[in-house]
Chain A
Amino acid sequence: MRAVRLELNGVEVAAVAEGGETLLTLLRERLGDTSPKAGCLQGTCGACTVLLDGEPVLACLTLAELADGRRVTTVRGLADGPRLHPLQEAFMDGFAAQCGFCTPGMLVAAKALLDRDPNPTREQVIEAISGNVCRCTGYTPIVDAILEAARRMAGRRG
């Protein structure tokens, strides 16, 4: 057992994690953020992707205690109050979600990409979400939506 303090989507939180507990369990069962999904629990599907200090990690393979003192961002941290992130808007406009189970991980992976490179090529987008499986196989609208979000964000900056 150990106490873990972290900043979850901008809010200071703390919880007690058992030895060997994953960040995914900490988030879903102790901190009440069920947006990262348990698709495989073996690091292959990407549905549990969250950002740890801005870098995408697989929460199902990350020990909870490794998040101690760090910033964790889930898809619930993307919106600014009632204002959705351009990625979220572009996903909605472009039908880039079907069952929705991969969507939180997909969006978080896309955010990490746009934070790093606001103007990615199509190939870079595909590379950035290559660890995220969409079994509904809606990859084309997802890639399109990420590129569209990048365009919209560039427009706002410009």
Chain B
Amino acid sequence: MRIRKELFADERDDDLRLVGQPVRRQDIEGHVTGRTAFFDDHSVAGLLHLRCVRSTQHHARIRSIDTSAAERTPGVRRILRWADLPKKAHNILTIFDFGIDDEPALADGKVRYKGEPIVAILAESRRAADEAVAKVRVDYEPLPAVFDVEEALKPGAPLVNEYIGRNWFRYWGDYDCQQIRFGDVEAALRSADLVVSGRYQMSPIEHAPLETQGCIVVPAEDGRFTVYTCTQGLFFSLDNTAAQLKIESNRLHFVGGTVGGGFGGKVDTVVEPLAVLAAMLTGRPVRYVFSRAEEMQVSSPRGAERIYIEDGVMRDGRIVARKITHYHDAGAYSRLSTYGTIKSAAHHPGPYTIPNVWVDSWCVFTNRTPSSAMRGFGVTGGDFALESHMDVVARAIGMDPMELRIKNAYRDGDMKAHRKLTQGAALVECVQVAAELARWPLSEEARRDSSRVGGGGERARIPPTPTARTRAPGSTGTGARVEPARLGTGFAASEPRRGTTPLPGWTGGAGFPSSRPEPPRREAERREPPPEPPRPSTGGHGAIRFSSVFGSRRR
């Protein structure tokens, strides 16, 4: 293991002396002696067990829910419905004033994916709760469903999520997708020696942690609730639970940190709000744990992604244009996919200096299981597509794939398509080391190359950029004015805050209004301090703001 401090020194203030050294984990003694307390290892007397009745339909209106037989089941203490929810819909990013509250914790009269929770049953034992779940009769009116991102964007596709109001997430007030515009891609594609196109696709991936997600909530005598949980974001989940229950966060005491496998799948905060609500309404401790089947079927997977890449390439290996359309399948609800889409746009066109770049990154709603965070979501799928495509390009022009990467690698001083100057670039060196370790022959020129040379100058320039904006088919903009100079930064304007709970005219089961009135703004629900004005493009960079959720890079 060798750390090339001459390349990274400016960015890291630590000396990295532990990298490559054996270090004993501080929690490992608990793991090997069986003393580590995971959330379900807390012994609590008098537990009620919470189990959910889940949708058997991908998309349906609920005509009626008959819980009478379930209520008569011995041991059943309470049944929770949408009407019991303090906040009728929620999204975990709206606590940061981003996005739209678009997901009811229990079905609001419609189900939008198979496995969506409809009612929650509380019983004295897990077995009694399961028995009662099986006795609930739900009368569905099936609706046409859509499972493909491109189908979902077509005019006339079934509307998945009425809170969103369209099958794509609209960014920053008036963008149907995240858009990067840098140079004139169309002209560059026309003048390139060769255009190489590709279509790439990732399936959803389930994290499948060995510990299924869940929590145990214990009401304390002082009106507070202790929540033993496996969440990956203890305070993120605490804040989201408080927001969803409309209680002060100091009424919640979250105990955790021992996560039996997470991989991004335990930040969505899907179990805690229902369990705390159940404890509030019954005064009893409550345990809500996903079965393995629920973990596989309804916990958020990595979203499906489809990526189209069109590269304009010169015979000498220079990529002069890169045009990307990236679709993220959010499933039926936003969760964190709105943010994952931003990440993909921030990652394209990869670590290469390409003078003409055009990226559209879409967050699309379908009737699939809501997707969310998983290990580099937004980036992993993009990288898979980009690096697969680099190999395709190399083959198409008969060039060594390592040399193609070195030739196009960004170098210090280069302007990125996101209008940031490249600093601390090390791709050339990484490729050189990888080639050396793999005994992959490189040309003398490639071996001598460096990220420190060849950058800047003409490559630091922002080229003249046509500002054509992409609209979804049939979409009309909000008319919000966005300054042309900010186009493509993606972080200039913020989505007008929209609290949508409940939808005006929506009474559950009666169908949504056909033309959706503009919902009331959420200011009324906000506590001090008052809402901030839209952030200037120089600050409040979306990606940096959200990175605090998942742990930002150390500086």
Which residues of A line the B interface, CB within 8 A? 28-29, 32-35, 37-42, 45, 47, 74-76, 78-79, 84, 87-88, 91-93, 95, 97, 99-104, 107, 133-136
**Docked complex Cα distance between A150 and B30 (Å):** 22
**Docked complex Cα distance between A45 and B291 (Å):** 13
Chain A contacts of B208 at CB under 8 A? 135
Chain A contacts of B32 at CB under 8 A? 75, 84, 87-88, 91-92, 97, 103, 107
Chain A contacts of B31 at CB under 8 A? 91, 97, 100, 103
Chain B residue nearest to A85 in the complex (CB):
B32
**Docked complex Cα distance between A99 and B40 (Å):** 15
A22 to chain B, nearest CB (A): 12
Q: Which 7 pairs from chain A and chain B are nearest by CB? A: A35-B34, A100-B31, A101-B260, A34-B41, A75-B34, A88-B32, A97-B31
Asked whether, in the complex, the Cβ of A99 is within 8 Å of the Cβ of B210, the reply is yes
Q: Does B450 contact A (CB under 8 A)?
A: no
- Which residue of B34, B210, B258, B263 is within 8 Å of A133 (Cβ)? B210
Q: Does B436 contact A (CB under 8 A)?
A: no
Asked whether, in the complex, the Cβ of A37 is within 8 Å of the Cβ of B292, the reply is no
Given A91-B32, A101-B260, A101-B261, A37 and B43 contact (CB-CB distance below 8 Å): no
Asked whether, in the complex, the Cβ of B261 is within 8 Å of the Cβ of A135, the reply is yes
Q: A34-B40, A101-B38, A103-B31 are in contact. List 8 more A-B contacts (CB 8 A).
A: A32-B43, A34-B41, A34-B43, A37-B211, A39-B211, A76-B33, A97-B25, A100-B28
Asked whether, in the complex, the Cβ of B259 is within 8 Å of the Cβ of A40, the reply is no
Asked whether, in the complex, the Cβ of B34 is within 8 Å of the Cβ of A104, the reply is yes
Given A45-B210, A95-B22, A100 and B292 contact (CB-CB distance below 8 Å): no
B262 to chain A, nearest CB (A): 7
Chain B residue nearest to A87 in the complex (CB):
B32
Which residues of B line the A interface, CB within 8 A? 22-25, 27-38, 40-41, 43, 207-212, 258-263, 291-292
Given A41-B291, A99-B209, A135-B208, A92 and B28 contact (CB-CB distance below 8 Å): yes
Chain A contacts of B259 at CB under 8 A? 99
**Docked complex Cα distance between A107 and B35 (Å):** 13
Q: Could you say which of A29, A74, A133, A135 has the most chain B C-beta atoms within 10 Å of its C-beta?
A: A135
B215 to chain A, nearest CB (A): 15
Asked whether, in the complex, the Cβ of B29 is within 8 Å of the Cβ of A41, the reply is no
Asked whether, in the complex, the Cβ of B34 is within 8 Å of the Cβ of A38, the reply is no
B51 to chain A, nearest CB (A): 14
Q: Could you say which of A29, A74, A93, A100 has the most chain B C-beta atoms within 10 Å of its C-beta?
A: A100
Asked whether, in the complex, the Cβ of B34 is within 8 Å of the Cβ of A97, the reply is no
Chain A residue nearest to B38 in the complex (CB):
A101
Asked whether, in the complex, the Cβ of A135 is within 8 Å of the Cβ of B209, the reply is yes
**Docked complex Cα distance between A104 and B210 (Å):** 12
**Docked complex Cα distance between A98 and B25 (Å):** 9
Asked whether, in the complex, the Cβ of B210 is within 8 Å of the Cβ of A101, the reply is yes
Chain B residue nearest to A101 in the complex (CB):
B260
B55 to chain A, nearest CB (A): 23
**Docked complex Cα distance between A95 and B22 (Å):** 8
**Docked complex Cα distance between A47 and B41 (Å):** 14
Q: Could you say which of A92, A93, A101 has the most chain B C-beta atoms within 10 Å of its C-beta?
A: A101
Asked whether, in the complex, the Cβ of A37 is within 8 Å of the Cβ of B38, the reply is yes
**Docked complex Cα distance between A38 and B292 (Å):** 10
Chain B contacts of A74 at CB under 8 A? 34
Chain B contacts of A75 at CB under 8 A? 32-34
**Docked complex Cα distance between A74 and B34 (Å):** 9
Chain B contacts of A133 at CB under 8 A? 210
Chain B contacts of A99 at CB under 8 A? 209-211, 259-262
**Docked complex Cα distance between A30 and B263 (Å):** 32
- Which residue of B29, B260, B262 is within 8 Å of A37 (Cβ)? B260
Chain A residue nearest to B30 in the complex (CB):
A100
- Which residue of A28, A78, A95, A101 is within 8 Å of B211 (Cβ)? A101
Chain B contacts of A35 at CB under 8 A? 34-35
- Which residue of B24, B40, B43 is within 8 Å of A38 (Cβ)? B40
Chain B contacts of A101 at CB under 8 A? 38, 209-211, 260-261
**22 residue pairs A–B, Cβ–Cβ below 8 Å:** A32-B43, A34-B37, A34-B41, A35-B34, A37-B210, A39-B212, A41-B291, A75-B33, A76-B33, A84-B33, A88-B33, A91-B31, A93-B24, A95-B23, A95-B25, A95-B28, A97-B32, A99-B211, A100-B28, A100-B258, A100-B260, A136-B261
